[in-house]
Chains A and B, each alone.
Chain A
Amino acid sequence: MSTVKIPPVLRQAVGGERTVEVTGETVGEVLTNLCDQHPAVGSQILTPDGELHKYVNVYVNDEDARLLQWTDTPVGEGDTLMILPAMAGGER
């Protein structure tokens, strides 16, 4: 069970929660399970082929998952995944 931190723009898609507990042994499994539980998340962060969009960063604890083993990165109890799209604002 890992903790997934949900960015503000995706919170509505998970019922307003800031964090969600998700099972899975790897980053890929966790994200797949998250999108299964909350299809609205999947429609935002995944391409039609089920790949993560390039504009979505995923961090395992404080490290960019792409610099680890990407979706094969093992995760477990106590690990935190953060889904992080860029934020535009600012507020002129």
Chain B
Amino acid sequence: MSPSYQDLLATAREVIPEVEPSEVAPRVEAGDGPLIIDVRETAEWDQGHLPGAVHIPRGFLESRVAGATSGTDQELLISCASGQRSLLAAKTLADMGYTNVTNLAGGFARWKQNNYPVEVPRILSPAQRSRYSRHVLIPEVGEEGQLKLLDSKALLIGAGGLGSPAAYYLAAAGVGTIGLVDDDEVDESNLQRQIIHTTERVGMNKGESAKEAIRALNPEVQVNVHPFRVNRDNVLDLLEEYDVVVDGADNFPTRYLLADASLMTRTPLVHASILRFEGHASVFNPYDGPCYRCLFPEPPPPDLAPSCGEAGVLGVLCGVMGNVQATEAIKVLLGIGDTLSGRLLIYDALGMTFTELKVRRDPDCPSCGPNADLQLRDYEAWCAGVGSHDHVGATA
């Protein structure tokens, strides 16, 4: 005769030791307990679980256990609601060769009755789970990563060519707070590339205009409009409020100001610049890899550094580079992958080539070097000064 459910439980009990909550609670509290695998369904897990437990629903136990454990000799404590599903799960693990498996007697119910500590996981709401489902499916992001993005704050300098696509995609991705620094108004000539704005909103502050677009796309995102220019009096307070800064500035004084200020506040800086058909991008992690001044110690004079307003820019180039920035910002916020730190990415849209240059930290860097005297200066005057000195035509 085939074994009944009771027979299966009895057989499992013969090989799987049961542990009372009172026996294991002090070890769990001290942080030296066994690896706890909770085999309940997701809806049960979401109501609360043992501190530090890993969640593997019973149906996925065989396929996922190897990924959650360090080896078949690791000490495992299996738990469920009442101790029966976990007993059978533990038996399965023993059959799979795990040699040190125990079962939590009475399960989560008895643990909770005895008032031992419980962790209630922060979870996405059903609406969020649906909106961000394509992120949740990616192992490197998942629900945990999405929650991290929702808690994150990104500051964008400029809601223009680079800031438009970057802000739009960061908002779509569910970055919870987006700050937009821009004192400029939407102009008709912006709409060839600044896709977050609209013809109807010509004349509106760019931050306000972007806020409207973001609200329509993802009302959950908190948008802070900072309708002024970033300067040395406000930059540190601004950066302190955010986890990452995305530099889409259109001038060197602002870029060098951000480079120095982000070192002071230890804020990762996601850089991009664009002209005509060409884009540069990199990531500057404060004191962990090179900074902007390690790469470009001094700005070039104005005629070697025309603005897009003077020299033009292919509209769609802004989309590519702004989205490189959005990608890097998300990676920085999640702590995943290899960012462009230590590399300068050069995109040539005419040749459709991506080139990478190595960027090293400069031991003599005047901003991040060990002997640097880092302080915010008058960047307008400094850029004008270094740009003009000894700039006289001469050939070799």
Interface residues of A, Cβ cutoff 8 Å to B: 7-10, 18, 31-32, 35-36, 39, 42-44, 46-50, 53-57, 59, 62-64, 67, 82, 84-92
Contact = CB atoms under 8 A, between A and B. Distances in A.
Contacts of B255: 86, 88, 90
B307 A46 contact: no
Contacts of A62: 355-358
B358 A64 contact: yes
A91 B396 contact: no
Contacts of A35: 395-396
A64 B357 contact: yes
26 contacts: A7-B278, A8-B277, A9-B311, A18-B350, A35-B396, A42-B396, A44-B304, A46-B396, A48-B392, A55-B387, A57-B296, A62-B356, A62-B358, A64-B360, A84-B346, A85-B304, A86-B252, A87-B305, A89-B161, A89-B311, A90-B160, A90-B254, A91-B161, A91-B194, A91-B318, A92-B248
A91 B357 contact: no
Contacts of A86: 252, 255, 273, 295-296, 299-300, 305
A14 B387 CA distance: 23
A40 to B, nearest CB: 9
Given A89-B161, A92-B248, 12 more contacts: A9-B305, A42-B395, A48-B392, A50-B396, A55-B300, A62-B355, A63-B357, A85-B300, A85-B304, A88-B255, A88-B306, A91-B162
B307 A89 contact: yes
A87 B278 contact: yes
B305 A90 contact: no
**Interface residues of A: mostly helix, strand, loop or mixed?**
mixed
A7 to B, nearest CB: 7
Given A55-B298, A57-B295, A88 B394 contact: no
B139 interface: no
A88 B359 CA distance: 18
Given A7-B278, A18-B351, A50-B396, A89 B300 contact: no
